[in-house]
């Protein structure tokens, strides 16, 4: 942690808090172009007091003047309601709030302090979480866990009470369940249902396949172990996908736990804050003439191939793959037993670089457990997505919701129905 803070943390993390302050929990939130009262909505079902909110109000210089102004209004509103205030740096103020959590307000939406273009929400999250790491290292925050959320979230009453489900020695992250609030407009509600099902469908497919990466990657729902966060050098500075890439690294250090709690409620809104994700996804669906028939989902057979490859991966050892031909023979045998096309699976893996990955694993892991660890680290969440995309682009085109059940293997169809029942749109 000390090395990370000294070499890789953002400058905002280098601060001194007012004497005597200590908090049981910390919550990190980036905010751009939000309502000034969003925190009141976020905590409407949660009255946690012994909490510090690290809020990074942010914009890039190319943001619209009106969005920048609305973002600054958040800071002005919170400052006007504080009962005590201390400026800690040029960009950071500590605000004491009588009947709610205290706030560290970090201002990155003013001239000279705008976020660099293309860094966006990833850098804003990193600033907040790096600051949380500093406060944890100094004992000002007494937990080892950093909560991460967004301005569109409403926290459930048990949000901070479920932390006993995590083990600081073995777990690297927890993921809260979530639910999008129904939108008043029926067209938006349908689009949100279809998009939500696409997320559930993908995770269900990964679970069916036995993938260790079968979890949601939504920045509004994360809790992260501070020490392991520092080990992977924090959030990547990206406009979008920063949650996916952070979790992809964290899982290699410890378990990612799906927490059992009431869901975090997320607003259904047509946001254009990021280039991809829920807001842009819903917008894309709304642009379709017939969303139920035109919005596409991965072909179910992609997950059958993934399941077979995951089973092969779990059995591989350095003695079984001394040369490429041995590996291809093994893939051929297992694919045929599963009723799959072995040439297709082999070509997919060759394209992704399986031979190079195996050579690396053999070179660095003569013992089977170490070998498998290296190979499984190569076939991570990102490589799993590339695997699915290769099959989609080369053999199994995506399907509309109306045909998913018809083309699905019976075992997968049953698993899908149990894990992620078809949305109401199925019957339209």
Angle between helices 186-209 and 301-315 (to 10 degrees): 30
Domain that holds residue 135: 2-182+214-272
Cα distance between residue 71 and residue 58, in whole Å: 7
Residue 192 lies in a domain: no
The answer to whether 228 and 172 are in contact (CB under 8 A) is yes
φ, ψ at 51 (rounded to 5°): -135, 140
Whether residues 232 and 340 share a domain: the answer is no
Whether residues 135 and 79 share a domain: the answer is yes
**In residues, how long is the chain?**
428
Residue 194 lies in a domain: no
Whether residues 226 and 344 share a domain: the answer is no
CATH number at residue 246: 3.90.550.10
Per-residue model confidence as pLDDT tens for the chain (428 residues): 889 999 999 999 999 898 888 999 999 999 999 999 999 989 887 777 789 999 999 999 889 999 999 999 999 999 999 999 999 999 999 999 877 789 999 999 999 999 998 788 899 999 999 999 999 999 999 999 999 999 999 999 999 999 999 999 999 999 999 888 866 666 777 888 888 888 899 999 999 999 999 988 888 899 999 999 999 999 999 887 888 889 989 988 999 999 999 999 988 665 555 545 566 777 888 888 888 888 899 999 999 999 999 999 888 877 766 666 778 888 899 999 999 999 999 999 999 999 888 888 888 767 778 888 888 889 999 999 999 999 999 999 999 988 888 888 888 888 888 887 666 655 55
Closest CA to 357 of 341, 379, 337: 379
Predicted confidence at residue 269, as pLDDT, reads 61
Predicted confidence at residue 316, as pLDDT, reads 80
Whether residues 355 and 233 share a domain: the answer is no
Residue 407 lies in a domain: no
Residue 308 lies in a domain: yes
Residue 199 lies in a domain: no
Whether residues 126 and 71 share a domain: the answer is yes
Residue 98 lies in a domain: yes
Extract the tokens encoding 164: 């006993």
Name the domain count of the chain.
Answer: 2
Residue 416 lies in a domain: no
Whether residues 39 and 95 share a domain: the answer is yes
Distances (CA, A) of 113 to 73, 117, 192, 197, 398: 16, 12, 35, 39, 44
Predicted confidence at residue 402, as pLDDT, reads 82
Whether residues 222 and 350 share a domain: the answer is no
Distances (CA, A) of 228 to 134, 148, 194: 14, 15, 35
Whether residues 304 and 268 share a domain: the answer is no
Distances (CA, A) of 264 to 46, 148, 154, 367: 11, 12, 6, 43
Whether residues 18 and 163 share a domain: the answer is yes
* DSSP characters over 262-274: SPEEE------SS
Whether residues 227 and 133 share a domain: the answer is yes
Whether residues 319 and 251 share a domain: the answer is no
Residue 198 lies in a domain: no
φ, ψ at 148 (rounded to 5°): -125, 130
Predicted confidence at residue 151, as pLDDT, reads 93
Whether residues 318 and 230 share a domain: the answer is no
Predicted confidence at residue 287, as pLDDT, reads 85
């Amino acid at each position: 942690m000390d090395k990370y803070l000294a070499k890789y943390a953002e400058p905002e993390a280098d601060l001194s808090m007012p004497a005597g302050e200590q908090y049981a929990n910390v919550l990190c939130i980036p905010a751009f172009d939000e309502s000034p009262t969003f925190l009141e909505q976020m905590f409407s079902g949660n009255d946690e007091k012994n909490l510090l909110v690290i809020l990074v109000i942010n914009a890039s210089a190319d943001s619209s003047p009106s969005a920048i102004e609305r973002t600054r209004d958040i800071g002005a509103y919170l400052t006007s309601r504080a009962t005590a205030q201390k400026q800690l740096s040029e960009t950071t103020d500590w605000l004491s709030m009588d009947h709610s959590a205290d706030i560290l307000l970090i201002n990155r939406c003013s001239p000279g302090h705008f976020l660099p273009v293309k860094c966006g929400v990833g850098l804003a999250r990193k600033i907040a979480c790096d600051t949380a790491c500093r406060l944890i290292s100094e004992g000002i925050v007494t937990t080892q866990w950093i909560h991460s959320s967004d301005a569109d979230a409403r926290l459930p009453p048990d949000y901070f009470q479920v932390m006993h489900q995590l083990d600081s020695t073995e777990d690297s992250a927890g993921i809260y369940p979530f639910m999008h609030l129904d939108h008043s407009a029926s067209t938006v509600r349908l689009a949100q249902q279809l998009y939500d099902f696409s997320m559930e469908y993908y995770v269900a497919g990964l679970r069916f396949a036995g993938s260790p990466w079968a979890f949601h990657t939504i920045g509004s729902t994360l809790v992260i172990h501070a020490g392991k966060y520092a080990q992977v050098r924090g959030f990547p500075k990206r406009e979008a996908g920063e949650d996916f890439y952070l979790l992809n690294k964290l899982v290699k250090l410890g378990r990612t736990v799906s927490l059992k709690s009431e869901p975090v409620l997320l607003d259904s809104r047509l946001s254009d804050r990021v280039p991809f994700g829920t807001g842009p996804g819903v917008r894309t669906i709304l642009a379709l003439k017939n969303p139920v028939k035109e919005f596409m989902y991965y072909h179910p057979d992609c997950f059958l191939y993934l399941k077979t490859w995951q089973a092969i991966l779990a059995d591989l050892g350095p003695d079984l793959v001394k040369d490429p031909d041995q590996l291809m023979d093994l893939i051929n045998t297992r694919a045929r037993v599963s009723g799959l096309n072995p040439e297709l699976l082999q070509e997919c893996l060759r394209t992704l670089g399986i031979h190079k990955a195996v050579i690396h694993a053999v070179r660095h892991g003569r013992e089977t457990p170490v070998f498998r660890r290296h190979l499984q680290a190569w076939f991570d969440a990102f490589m799993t997505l590339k695997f699915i995309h290769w099959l989609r682009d080369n053999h199994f085109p995506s399907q509309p919701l109306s045909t998913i059940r018809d083309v699905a293997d019976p075992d997968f169809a049953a698993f899908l129905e149990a894990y992620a029942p078809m949305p109401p749109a199925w019957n339209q």
